[in-house]
Amino acid sequence: MRKVPFKNYVILAVIILLTVTFVFYLRSWFNTSKEYYAQNSVMTQVVREIKSEEIANYTLENQKFILYVSSGQNSVVKNFEDDLRDLIKKMELGEEVLYMNLDGIDTDAFYNSLKDRFAANTKIKNQISVDTPANMYLFTDGKVTAVLNNVNNYSMKRLETIIDSWEIK
């Protein structure tokens, strides 16, 4: 019977130790990224995020854009946002769409501001809703001219058709 050198056992132990350490690192990284996306929206990967107090200034410089509004922590819209992110990439709308996270802001004050300062007319003012998980607003000439409430219930094909009809580019 052949004798196995002691250094081979040491090398095997080091390889096993490194492998186990690497697996635990990957698991930790996966859990951290999963937790991050549970608390934040994937929309920030493809579009710029804006705060509610910045909208007035943004409308002065950019007359036509889409504002997507939702909570970064709302699990109801996570799958929709994955699809929406892909649609925005496909339609090359990264510069024309803004994302606003509703977490940590006074939503009533935000929606009242949209109604009072940015609604183009009374019909639009009445369409702006507080009770929906995700909304889209088309701004034209600094005013909201179209509203999509519960946008998370729209199919991507329908949403693509609507955005195309807005002629945002």
- Block residue for tokens 């009072």: 116
What was the pLDDT predicted at 11?
95
Residue 130's pLDDT band (boundaries 50, 70, 90)?
confident
Of 82 and 168, more confident:
82
The rounded distance, in Å, linking the Cα atoms of 126 and 58 is: 23
What was the pLDDT predicted at 73?
85
Residue 2's pLDDT band (boundaries 50, 70, 90)?
confident
- Percent of the chain residues topping a pLDDT of 70: 99
Residue 44's pLDDT band (boundaries 50, 70, 90)?
confident
**Is residue 5 predicted with pLDDT exceeding 80?**
yes
**Is residue 65 predicted with pLDDT exceeding 90?**
yes
With a CB cutoff of 8 Å and minimum separation 6, the contacts of 128 are 111, 114, 115, 119, 135, 137, 144, 147
Tokens coding 37: 């996306």
pTM of the model as a whole: 0.80
**Is residue 168 predicted with pLDDT exceeding 80?**
no
**Is residue 37 predicted with pLDDT exceeding 80?**
no
- Block residue for tokens 């939503």: 107
Cβ distance 96 to 137 under 8 Å? no
What was the pLDDT predicted at 57?
92
What was the pLDDT predicted at 137?
95
Tokens coding 136: 């889209």
